[in-house]
Amino acid sequence: MFIELDLQSETPIYAQLVDQIVEGIASGELKRGDPLPSVRRLAEELGINLHTVNKSYNLLKQEGFLQVHRKQGVIVHPDGMPGVTEAFEAKLQRQLRSLAAEAAVRGMTEEAFTEESRSVYRDTITNRGGG
Amino acid sequence: MTVPETIIISSFYLFIALMISIQSYIGLRTLLFGITLPAEALQDTAVRGIRRKYVLLTGGFAIATGVTCFLVTRHQTTSQSFLYWAAAILLLIIVSFLTNWISRISARRLKAARGWQVAVQTKRTASLVAGRSHGSVLSFWWFTVHVAVMAFCIFFVAVRWDDIPQSIAVHMGRSGFPDQYIDKSVRTVFMINIVQALMIVFFAGYNLMISRARTSLDSQDREGSLRKQLKRKKIYSITAWGISLLGIANLGLLQAVMLYGWNLNLLLRYNISFTAVFFLTLIGVLLYLRFRDLDQQKDVPSEEERHWKWLGSIYVNPEDPALFVPDRYGLGWTINMANSLGKTIAAAMVAVLVTAILVIIFNFR
């Protein structure tokens, strides 16, 4: 699985990293228990500051997506992912609200919006690259 | 100097002259003496002209110096000839720095005149799987072969200690008889094994460096560039392993000739073969890398010119956490000298090399 960062994006680098790792888990490219490179290693490979990678990993650990394993280092949580929390629902509503508003203003119907959401959800969880 | 010695040292000079002269044609094509060019510049005849001028100037000087040195040292003693050839190589390196510098200025002027712009890439790509060093180089267990060879040599010495003469011949004169001797002692008898040990440390360290170096990827072709980079690392690792093993065997053979009176011709034939194998392997590897397009990958985080000092040979980038990055021309790897650990490693490497050379020089007095 590859990480691709855009240094000129409006999204901060640590957030891009968090998003991509979560997407990787969603698509199945990263499976439960899969090891990730160490903070230092990933920072070296990307040529970015260690603190940025550290921040991303810490966020993911706090949320329960990653775990620190004694021998393997950082791994995708082997015991299953955290469930839907209130905090997540609030985040979901917050981020969807602005998109829904713009869609409505631009004249998109509720059905079209729902269909788009559905197709994005399905694309994300489909195992990329087959298998 | 004897004929075989002349062959060895002049072919060594020839190899260095060749490597220095064709410098402008190996590695990244989009790099002209450290100046980055856009893809369209590759078709420009002026670019080719700058490269050609460098080869003619440097190559011409190399030939002139080499021929002069050959003529002058024909009737000198070995140590004097050695000094002359060493001076010739030093001179060649200095001249190549100058021609490099001049070519770089020409390249910069051409780039400005043509108005070429190379946008700094703002995408960074890394593999989460190959981020680990596993599999990119030969396992360190492969170096036990080197240790075994060295241990065998040491064992041989220990067993045959009493048979070793009190005066050890260290140089063969023109008459075919030894003309320089040193006294037998633990230091003089085992000095070659010390050099072997230092060589093992150096090359195992080089192997470690390759495994830890950043794997540069192309965001437009992630799988392909990853595959190529891993293959490239493997090739370098195997080549270094093989060459160093032959070198250690060479030293063992030298020790046998010195201590047990083995046939000197055997050593000389091995030396000449080894030198030939070394040159051919290096050239072969470079050609193979070019044919398979394994040498054209840019390393995005280090591509800005401002990070490369001293004519593009030293990398200093405090924003880059990596210790080892591909060198400017994409041929090997280099140390990030902004990193304090990097500076320590560079100093240690120099220390190991200098120690090995000093051990040889001081024990041959």
CATH code for the domain in which residue A69 is found: 1.10.10.10
Q: How far is CA A27 from CA A5, A56, A58, B203, in A?
A: 18, 19, 21, 42
Which residues of A are less than 8 Å from B320 in CB distance? Answer: 44, 47
As a whole number, the mean pLDDT across chain A is: 91
Contact in structure between B130 and B215 (CB atoms under 8 Å)? yes
Examine residue A7 and state whether it is found in any structural domain, yes or no: no
Domain shared by B35 and B84, yes or no: yes
Which residues of B are less than 8 Å from A1 in CB distance? Answer: 127-129
- Count of domains observed in chain B: 2
Domain shared by A29 and A69, yes or no: yes
Burial class (CB in 10 A: 0-12, 13-18, 19+), B166: exposed
Domain shared by A54 and A104, yes or no: no
What tokens does B167 get? 């005066």
What's the domain range around A97?
A: 86-125
Residue A129: the pLDDT is 43
- Count of domains observed in chain A: 2
How far, in Å, CA of A127 to CA of A117, rounded? 18
Domain shared by A67 and A40, yes or no: yes
pLDDT digits (tens, 9 = 90+) for B16-29: 898 888 888 888 88
Domain shared by B115 and B141, yes or no: no
Domain shared by B244 and B358, yes or no: yes
Amino acid, res. B85? W
Nearest alpha-carbon partner for B313 in B295, B328, B326:
B328
Q: What percent of chain B is predicted at pLDDT more than 90?
A: 47
A-to-B residue pairs, Cβ atoms closer than 8 angstroms: 73
Domain shared by B70 and B144, yes or no: no
Nearest alpha-carbon partner for B342 in B364, B320, B359:
B320
Angle of CA points B107, B110, B112, to nearest 5°: 110
Domain shared by A19 and A40, yes or no: yes
Mean pLDDT in residue range B80-86: 86
Domain shared by A93 and A71, yes or no: no
Which residues of A are less than 8 Å from B307 in CB distance? Answer: none
Domain shared by A65 and A25, yes or no: yes
Examine residue A112 and state whether it is found in any structural domain, yes or no: yes
Domain shared by B29 and B147, yes or no: no
If pLDDT is split at 50, 70 and 90, which confidence band does B175 have? low
Domain shared by A63 and A113, yes or no: no
Residue A127: the pLDDT is 60
Residue A131: the pLDDT is 34
Q: Are A3 and B129 a contacting pair at CB < 8 A?
A: no
Q: Are A37 and B131 a contacting pair at CB < 8 A?
A: yes
Residue B168: the pLDDT is 82
For A11, residues 6+ apart whose C-beta sits below 8 A from its C-beta are A19
Mean pLDDT in residue range A18-39: 92
Q: Are B128 and A43 a contacting pair at CB < 8 A?
A: no
The closest CB to that of B128, out of A3, A40, A44, belongs to A3
Domain shared by A17 and A68, yes or no: yes
Residue of B nearest to A6 (CA): B123
Q: Of the candidates B85, B119, B153, which is a domain's last residue? A: B119
Examine residue A106 and state whether it is found in any structural domain, yes or no: yes
For A35, residues 6+ apart whose C-beta sits below 8 A from its C-beta are A69, A72, A73, A74, A75, B132
Q: What percent of chain B is predicted at pLDDT more than 70?
A: 96
* Cα torsion B19, B292, B237, B255: sign: negative
Q: Of the candidates B119, B148, B180, which is a domain's last residue? A: B119
Q: Of the candidates A76, A97, A115, which is a domain's last residue? A: A76
Nearest CA to CA, how far is B222 from chain A (Å)?
8
Domain shared by A53 and A105, yes or no: no
pLDDT digits (tens, 9 = 90+) for B287-328: 999 899 898 888 889 888 889 988 778 999 999 999 999 988
Residue B27: the pLDDT is 85
Examine residue B124 and state whether it is found in any structural domain, yes or no: no
pLDDT digits (tens, 9 = 90+) for B50-81: 999 999 999 999 999 999 988 888 888 877 88
Angle of CA points B146, B151, B155, to nearest 5°: 155
Q: What is the pTM of this model?
A: 0.86
Element (H, E) at B237: helix B222-260
What tokens does A29 get? 């490219």
pLDDT digits (tens, 9 = 90+) for B33-57: 888 899 888 889 999 999 999 999 9
Domain shared by B240 and B276, yes or no: yes
Contact in structure between B312 and B304 (CB atoms under 8 Å)? no
Examine residue A6 and state whether it is found in any structural domain, yes or no: no
Residue of B nearest to A42 (CA): B131
Is the pLDDT at B269 greater than 60, yes or no? yes
Domain shared by B158 and B237, yes or no: yes
The closest CB to that of B126, out of A2, A6, A50, belongs to A2
As a whole number, the mean pLDDT across chain B is: 88
Residue A3: the pLDDT is 94
Residue B131: the pLDDT is 47
Domain shared by B28 and B146, yes or no: no
Provide the ipTM.
Answer: 0.85
Residue A42: the pLDDT is 94
Domain shared by B39 and B138, yes or no: no
Quote the DSSP letter at residue B120. Answer: P
Examine residue A2 and state whether it is found in any structural domain, yes or no: no
How far, in Å, CA of B51 to CA of B21, rounded? 10
Residue B144: the pLDDT is 96
Examine residue A100 and state whether it is found in any structural domain, yes or no: yes
Residue A84: the pLDDT is 93
Domain shared by A70 and A102, yes or no: no
**Angle of helix B78-114 relative to helix B3-21, nearest 10 degrees?**
10
Is the pLDDT at A104 greater than 80, yes or no? yes
Examine residue A131 and state whether it is found in any structural domain, yes or no: no
Mean pLDDT in residue range A79-102: 93
If pLDDT is split at 50, 70 and 90, which confidence band does A130 have? very low
What's the domain range around B6?
A: 1-119
If pLDDT is split at 50, 70 and 90, which confidence band does B8 have? confident
Domain shared by A33 and A69, yes or no: yes
Q: Are strands B123-127 and A2-6 parallel, antiparallel or unpaired?
A: antiparallel
Domain shared by B77 and B136, yes or no: no
Examine residue B84 and state whether it is found in any structural domain, yes or no: yes
If pLDDT is split at 50, 70 and 90, which confidence band does B176 have? low
Domain shared by B303 and B352, yes or no: yes
Q: Of the candidates B53, B84, B119, which is a domain's last residue? A: B119
Domain shared by B196 and B330, yes or no: yes
Domain shared by A20 and A66, yes or no: yes
